[in-house]
Amino acid sequence: MEEIYRTESRRVFATLIRLLGDFDLAEEGLHDAFRAALEQWPEQGVPANPRAWLVSTGRFKAVDTLRRRARFDFVEDLDDRPHPVGDESADEGNPGDSVEDDRLRLIFTCCHPTLPTEARTALTLREVCGLTTEEIARAFLTAPPTVAQRIVRAKARIRDARLRYEVPERAELPARLDSVLRVIYLVFNEGYSASAGDSLTRADLSGEAIRLGRLLVELLPEPEAIGLLALMLIQESRRAARTTPAGDLVLLDAQDRSRWLHELIAEGTALVERALLAGPAGPYALHAAIAAVHAEAPVAGATDWAQIVGLYDLLLQREPSPVVELNRGVAIAMRDGPAAGLAVIDTILNRGELSDYHLAHAARADLCRRLGRHEEARVAYRRALALTRQATERRFLERRLAELAA
């Protein structure tokens, strides 16, 4: 039963939403169906098609609930004929609809661009991944009532705005897919490099993002979805090497590469090639290509920085942003020397961009340190320290300041 719940509950839930048109009613139906299974399967045996059994049971349990609430105006649109609870026929609904289509519909609905970003993230983790409100709150260092309120408001917005529970048409897909990818990558980033708190990483959260990414590629193998999955896998491969046993930060060039998960690198690199061959390279595919170049270097000194700068040049054309420009400046520093990189970073900061971004000041501090401009490095490290909320990063910056003082 535990295995069936783990593998089937979100699939059953997605189909029940399509059949019932209501998140909360589908959730009730799902729980009622599993409760009935716990009562009946020990005596009657597990059905040949447990998913269909659960969908059928959940649907009619929900209809009974609606009848008890005397909401006959809604029930009239449902099939009133009682079916046996053990019906093992195909899932209810149009013959052309599959459970996988239902899961894809659910992802796009939870990530609808009219919902606030925080609501999209919370709703996706709750309804697609099945995390509890408490788990989501703990992952994002937020109070459970705040997360619960976001989820309730998101569901109300979907209901009141009559947002359609569907996969977008091909013409709408690029814009809608981008919203989905942003939510998945936001979840991954919070797990891979937490924005605040004592721990640098949260493996459970990045694991959920990768699971979502795999599901999306399986259901909708668009180049950018493939690129995002590749990027997450390659970054995830380095998790164990990113901190010391004491939990202190280890930068990329100092990491023990034997601790990297090379099976994830191999899978991610193959996906990068697939994404790049599928069409014009989008931002996620290019980010993944950059990560792959880092991953392919046996030691830090063998990194092909010229190729990385070239990829950042392409990325700036596709996705111009000061953060991409900052990362390109760091790559230029590695290719041409710290003075060349510092000139790029100073240009960005002098424009007033990224003045509150701690990594920009940390990058400037590092380049000043390498150039022997220690007082400028101290000022930049202090500025970065004042801006970061992440305990592991704070300890790293404090160590750098102590080294300069010595």
Residue 20 lies in a domain: yes
Residue 241 lies in a domain: no
pLDDT beyond 90 at 85: no
Residue 53 lies in a domain: yes
Query: Residue 278, Cβ neighbours under 10 Å: how many?
Result: 16
Domain boundary among 37, 65, 95: 95
- CATH number of the domain at 66, please: 1.10.1740
The confidence score (pLDDT) of residue 94 equals 39
Domain boundary among 75, 95, 115: 95
Q: Categorize the per-residue pLDDT at 287 as very low, low, confident or very high, splitting at 50, 70 and 90.
A: very high
d(CA 166, CA 160): 16
| Identity of the amino acid at 248 | D
Q: Are 295 and 268 in contact (CB under 8 A)?
A: yes
Domain boundary among 52, 79, 95: 95
Residue 33 lies in a domain: yes
The confidence score (pLDDT) of residue 182 equals 86
Question: What confidence tens digit (pLDDT) does each residue in 242-262 have?
Answer: 888 888 889 999 999 999 999
CB hemisphere CA count around 39 (13 angstroms): 10
pLDDT beyond 70 at 121: yes
The confidence score (pLDDT) of residue 233 equals 97
Tell me what the pLDDT averaged over the chain comes to: 86
Per-residue burial over 222-243, b if 16 or more Cβ lie within 10 Å, else e, is bbbbbbbbbbbbbbbbbbebbb
Residue 107 lies in a domain: no
The confidence score (pLDDT) of residue 367 equals 97
Q: Categorize the per-residue pLDDT at 80 as very low, low, confident or very high, splitting at 50, 70 and 90.
A: very low
Share of the chain above pLDDT 90, in %: 52
- CATH number of the domain at 394, please: 1.25.40.10
The confidence score (pLDDT) of residue 70 equals 54
pLDDT beyond 50 at 88: no
The confidence score (pLDDT) of residue 102 equals 86
- What Rg value do the Cα atoms of the chain yield, rounded? 25
The confidence score (pLDDT) of residue 199 equals 53
Residue 23 lies in a domain: yes
The confidence score (pLDDT) of residue 95 equals 29
Of 192-201, 258-267, 290-299, 395-404, which range is least confident? 192-201
Question: What confidence tens digit (pLDDT) does each residue in 182-241 have?
Answer: 888 888 887 776 544 555 556 777 888 898 899 889 888 999 999 999 999 999 999 889
pLDDT beyond 50 at 126: yes
Average pLDDT over residues 35-55: 93
Provide the phi-psi class of 224: left if phi over 0, else alpha when psi is between -120 and 50, else beta.
Answer: alpha
| Identity of the amino acid at 19 | L
> Which domain does 23 fall in, by range?
2-95
pTM: 0.75
Q: How many domains does the chain have?
A: 2
Question: What confidence tens digit (pLDDT) does each residue in 316-370 have?
Answer: 999 899 999 999 999 999 999 999 999 999 999 999 989 999 999 999 999 999 9
Residue 379 lies in a domain: yes
Residue 357 lies in a domain: yes
